[in-house]
Structure 1
Amino acid sequence: MAFTGKYEVESQENYDAFMKAIGIPAETIEKGRDFKFTTEVVQNGNTFTWSQIYPGHTMTNTFTIGQESDMETMSGKKFKAVVQLEGGKIIVDFGKYKHTSEIVGGKLVETSVAAGNTFTRISKRIA
């Protein structure tokens, strides 16, 4: 169960350009830029509960690899998606962007791509 754990954001690259590309308002981008939120992942076989815990708000997606699941984007948009697991990477198409998560050197590395902009977030394991 490589993904199970609690992670705290350590660094981000290309945050502003990516958020603009997916249509996040400037004031929301400004507020979210320096949030040190945590991500909590519980993996039970092919089923995952993935929570991002922000100050005053938690966003949780529960999904099973290869099955259609109800999902929610960072901006609150709800949709259905089939999450894939390829080469140890969790891959989901959020409509406006494609998101990949993997564990590299004990850290959670998340990469999102939209309109030619690549956003990378690296989080360290804290539990």
Structure 2
Amino acid sequence: MPFDVAKMSGKWKFDSFSDNYPQVMDKMGVPSDRFEKVRATEFPLDISLQGNVMTSKLVYLGKTIENSLTMGEEGEENDTSGKKRMVTYTLEGDCLVSVYPDHDGKGLPVHTSRHFVDDDTIRMTIKAGDVEGWALIKRC
């Protein structure tokens, strides 16, 4: 079944992580104190796909982040830390995939794949360089 982008709209919270998920976040430059805040935060997400343009609005730790990107084409994305990064989003079977060829400005590739476990759970697998981990997020 293809990934339903609009089904991601709603309020989400991190539920569980692989044992090495903090190392994945560290590799991506996410400070440990920020990671702890993320673990306890609910975040509303509004996302849609019109044709091949994906539009998202995320409220995260008091900031609103909006992006509009064309599927299959590299584009600039505003991230939760306030940085802009180049990324390509694609739909690959039952997954929404994002590829950042240079996540940290030093050549670190990051690949994230998201798929629905059920209507209220998304599993994200993140590979940052040579470190890979996963997280489950649950609908609130």
TM-score, with length taken from structure 1: 0.78
| Residue of structure 1 in register with 2:86 after alignment | 80
How far, CA to CA, are the matches of 1:85 and 1:104 in structure 2? 16
Contact kept in structure 2, 1:109 and 1:123, CA below 8 Å: no
CA positional deviation for 1:57: 0.9
CA positional deviation for 1:16: 2.3
Q: Secondary structure at the match of 2:137?
A: strand
Q: Secondary structure at the match of 1:37?
A: strand
* Counterpart mapping for 1:24-63 below 5 A: 24-63=30-69
CA positional deviation for 1:10: 5.0
Quickly say closer, same or farther: Cα 1:100–1:3, change in 2 above 3 A: same
- List gaps (5 residues or longer) in structure 2: none
How far, CA to CA, are the matches of 2:124 and 2:22 in structure 1? 16
CA positional deviation for 1:108: 3.2
TM-score, with length taken from structure 2: 0.72
How far, CA to CA, are the matches of 2:29 and 2:14 in structure 1? 24
| Residue of structure 1 in register with 2:135 after alignment | 120
| Residue of structure 1 in register with 2:111 after alignment | 98
How far, CA to CA, are the matches of 2:32 and 2:42 in structure 1? 19
Number of equivalent positions? 125
How far, CA to CA, are the matches of 1:45 and 1:101 in structure 2? 20
Q: Which amino acid is 2:66 matched to?
A: T
- List gaps (5 residues or longer) in structure 1: none
CA RMSD after TM alignment: 2.3
Contact kept in structure 2, 1:92 and 1:99, CA below 8 Å: yes
Q: Secondary structure at the match of 2:40?
A: coil
User: In the alignment, is residue 22 of structure 1 matched against residue 37 of structure 2?
Assistant: no
